[in-house]
Amino acid sequence: MLKDAATAVRERAYAPYSNFKVGAALRTASGAVHVGCNVENVAYPEGTCAEAGAIAAMVAAGETAFVEAFVIADSPSPVPPCGGCRQKLAEFAGPDAKVTLATTAGQLFETTVGALLPGSFGRAHMEPADG
Ligand code: THU
């Protein structure tokens, strides 16, 4: 179950600066589940988000598309992915891919990759314009 995978990997987050642990899990069409947690750094901008870690694990395992994502944190309400992670998620899933945002207390918010990043920049925008 994606929720269990995300919950378990969240415990391994390295977040000594924010003390805010995040876990993410991606399920691909093959049924495989890839997980990631946030990994912070004393040079703060060098930290990476849980979603980025899960994407890296998926690509390292040889897959480049997910069909469903689950993100969990200990927060008063389900934590929305940051802007950069929305673009990263959009790179590896269609707009209809389900994304569940969750709190450790059990609140769930279901959305999609497309809803998280409306008007997103995509490959089609790099096509040369006619004329
Ligand atoms: N963080 C994530 O890993 N994913 C999110 O969706 C929101 C924020 C991390 C980044 C940083 O390590 C900590 O949460 C506080 O921003």
List, for residues 47-85, the tens digit of each pLDDT value. Answer: 999 999 999 999 999 999 999 999 999 999 999 999 999
The residue to mutate among 11, 18, 21, 22, having the most atoms of ligand 1 within 8 angstroms of its beta carbon, is: 22
For residue 127, is it within any domain? no
How far apart CA 23 and CA 27 sit, in angstroms, is 14
Of all protein residues, whose CA lies closest to atom 4 belonging to ligand 1?
Answer: 49
Q: Which atom of ligand 1 is nearest to the CA of 53?
A: 3
The one catalytic residue among 46, 51, 63, 110:
51
The predicted structure's pLDDT at residue 131: 64
The strand pair at 98-103 and 68-73 is best described as parallel
Residue 75 to residues 22, 24, 81, 119, 120, Cα–Cα distance (Å): 10, 14, 13, 28, 27
pLDDT tens by residue, 76-115:
999 999 999 999 999 999 999 999 999 999 999 999 999 9
For residue 128, is it within any domain? no
pTM summary value: 0.96
Examine the residue annotation and report whether 51 is marked as an active-site residue of this protein: yes
pLDDT tens by residue, 1-44:
999 999 999 999 999 999 999 999 999 999 999 999 999 999 99
Q: How far is the CA of 129 from the centre of ligand 1 (A)?
A: 37
Of all protein residues, whose CA lies closest to atom 2 belonging to ligand 1?
Answer: 49
Q: Are 72 and 104 in contact (CB under 8 A)?
A: yes
Total count of domains within the chain: 1
Domain of residue 61 covers 2-116
CATH number, residue 100: 3.40.140.10
Of all protein residues, whose CA lies closest to atom 9 belonging to ligand 1?
Answer: 49
For residue 129, is it within any domain? no
Q: Which atom of ligand 1 is nearest to the CA of 15?
A: 12
